[in-house]
Structure 1
Amino acid sequence: MRTPSLLDRLAPPLFIFIWATGYLVAKLAAPHADPLTFLSWRYAGVVLLMTGLALVARARWPSRRDMAHLALAGVLIQAMYLGGVWVAIRQGLPAGTAALIVNLQPVLVAALAPLIGERVAPRQWAGVALGLAGVVLVIWHKLTLGTSFGPPLLLCLMALLAITAGTLYQKRFVPQFDLRSGQAVQFAASLAVTLPLAWALEPMRITWNAPVLAAMAWSIFVLTAGGISLMFYMLRHGRVTAVSSTMYLVPSVTSVMAWLLFDETLGAQAIAGMGVTLLGVYLVVAKRPETTA
């Protein structure tokens, strides 16, 4: 059995922290840039960054077969997931409702994990259910239920299905790849999908002021070079159900950040939800003690 390294231990909390900042980045950039246009610039920046890193390090590039698998997974995880969520929120879907929909991902991943040969134990199912209940408590005050949002709601559901399918697909067909060259391929494919949609559906408005520059730099160098790389690293060395369950902690961390940075409300119910979520994730990811005969 592989002995966990220091990176194995640090990757989950680092990933949760970095991924949680994505919602704050979206909030920072939203008034100044159209969503698909911003994402197109972001993807182009990632392609340049990762291609440069791969060339300098003389990294191994994927085979044609693996490139095809990586491109499809990248379009699902990046173009369809991020694009769906950003456009849905821009079109009026409340952030709390979007967060609740997207955080159904661990439930879907756990249900579909047997398709890639992973077994989900009853204890882990209990953790998945507890984690979802905790997320609901954390974001309850932001939820808007009972209202029809039409296309934005469908976009968010599309995003949920896309990241679930992309995560399982990548784990099944191309779990091992160089993170630099592999991400260059994935984001090039995502750019090839997102840029034409931005051109067709948006005025491609982007104002290059300080908030947008800060959001773009953070998106390229931290959210992608750090966050996406950590997620792929965890998928490579862990079970997909456990990796997906860490997503449950993102709304809690985002709520704390929003409270510190934007003076948003953080009540007792949200704090209780954080505790429930943490317990749920622990049940999913904790290793069972080995028994002796």
Structure 2
Amino acid sequence: MGETATGGGQTWLRLMPGLFVLLWSTGFIGAKYGLPYVEPLTFLLIRLALVAAVLALVALATRAPWPKDWPTTGRIALAGLLVHGVYLSGIFIAIARGLPAGVTALVVGIQPLLTAALSGPLLGERVSGRQWAGLLLGLAGVGMVVREKLSVDAAHLVPLGYALVALVGITLGTLYQKRHGGGMDLRSGTAIQYGATALALAVAAPLTETMQVQWTGEFVFALLWLCFVLSVGAIFLLFALIRRGAAAKVASLFYLTPPVTALIAWMLFGEKLGIVALAGMAVAVCGVALVNRK
């Protein structure tokens, strides 16, 4: 019985990275469905407030442990503001203001390299020459996937800036979570993170947006998908992977997001997927394999 349970656990650990990439990649699809009916910060406010309330109830019902002091709570909240607030706000605003999804994906695709560069001085992690080669190869693959959408003109400079802000947010958030959030309970800790981000958005959204929502079927579907598949499923997987692996290795999985997103967009929306993009997917997969190979 013990061996069977152990084998099942090992299978689950092997499946976690692939499942995370698949779920995380649907975030752009959810944004594509939902943003025509609501402004970006209002969308995020509704999404994160709903998830925070649900997770808080789950944490209370299952008697999950909560942080024992305010400094610990503050560190958990800060990681959430970076991973959820800064990153998601930057992505949603960039797409809402017209930056092509491919360009947005490429900008955020720099994250594994940035994480690897910072994980040494901030976390004391060593990135080998083979892993650096894999990170660069993965970035090249991402560039091949989205190269047909790299037409950025002066009108895109402002939304491009938001994408860069998102890049900084997810990079610093991943590193900060690795250093300070490893011991948090996923139920209560994530509820705190979403709640803190929702409070920040409750201040920012009324100051910058009309907060009008068109409650169409497409918007409700996008909202529920992003709430429970992304904000619960994918984020739980991300934090579990961060807890178990080096930051640079976990970050390398983000290289697979643009290729998988392109595949999903091709299946759902008929978006173009040429030979170069397919080759780029293979290159990105090889890069991630180099980074994560034992």
Q: Same fold judged by TM-score > 0.5? A: yes
Match of 1:109 among 86, 94, 115: 115
SS of 2:156's partner is coil
Paired position in structure 2 for 1:169: 176
Give yes or no for the alignment of 1:86 onto 2:84: no
**What is the alpha-carbon distance in structure 2 between the residues aligned to residue 264 and residue 78 of structure 1?**
28
Letter in 1 for 2:197: S
Conserved in 2, the CA contact under 8 Å of 1:113 and 1:241?
A: yes
**What is the alpha-carbon distance in structure 1 between the residues aligned to residue 157 and residue 146 of structure 2?**
21
Q: 1:269 to 1:33 in 2, by over 3 A?
A: same
| Structure 1 position 146, deviation (Å) | 5.3
**What is the alpha-carbon distance in structure 1 between the residues aligned to residue 209 and residue 92 of structure 2?**
13
Q: Show the 5 A alignment for 1:216-231.
A: 216-231=223-238
| Structure 1 position 214, deviation (Å) | 0.5
Conserved in 2, the CA contact under 8 Å of 1:96 and 1:144?
A: no
Give yes or no for the alignment of 1:43 onto 2:48: yes
**What is the alpha-carbon distance in structure 1 between the residues aligned to residue 20 and residue 73 of structure 2?**
25
Paired position in structure 2 for 1:77: 83
Q: CA RMSD in A?
A: 1.4
Match of 1:279 among 267, 281, 286: 286
Paired position in structure 2 for 1:239: 246
| Structure 1 position 7, deviation (Å) | 2.5
Q: Show the 5 A alignment for 1:53-72.
A: 53-63=58-68, 64-72=70-78
| Structure 1 position 149, deviation (Å) | 2.6
Q: State the TM-score, normalized to the length of structure 2.
A: 0.94
SS of 1:60's partner is coil
Instruction: For residues 215-235 of structure 1, give each alpha carbon's deviation from its aligned partner in whole angstroms, at most 9, with x where no partner exists.
Output: 111111111110000000000
| Structure 1 position 148, deviation (Å) | 5.5
Q: State the TM-score, normalized to the length of structure 1.
A: 0.95
Paired position in structure 2 for 1:129: 136
Percent identical pairs in the alignment equals 45
**What is the alpha-carbon distance in structure 1 between the residues aligned to residue 113 and residue 201 of structure 2?**
28
Instruction: For residues 89-134 of structure 1, give each alpha carbon's deviation from its aligned partner in whole angstroms, at most 9, with x where no partner exists.
Output: 2112222211111111001000001120110000000000000000
Give yes or no for the alignment of 1:5 onto 2:4: no
**What is the alpha-carbon distance in structure 1 between the residues aligned to residue 209 and residue 154 of structure 2?**
26
Letter in 2 for 1:284: V
| Structure 1 position 70, deviation (Å) | 0.8
Q: Alignment length, in residue pairs?
A: 286
Conserved in 1, the CA contact under 8 Å of 2:102 and 2:258?
A: no
SS of 1:8's partner is helix
Letter in 2 for 1:74: G
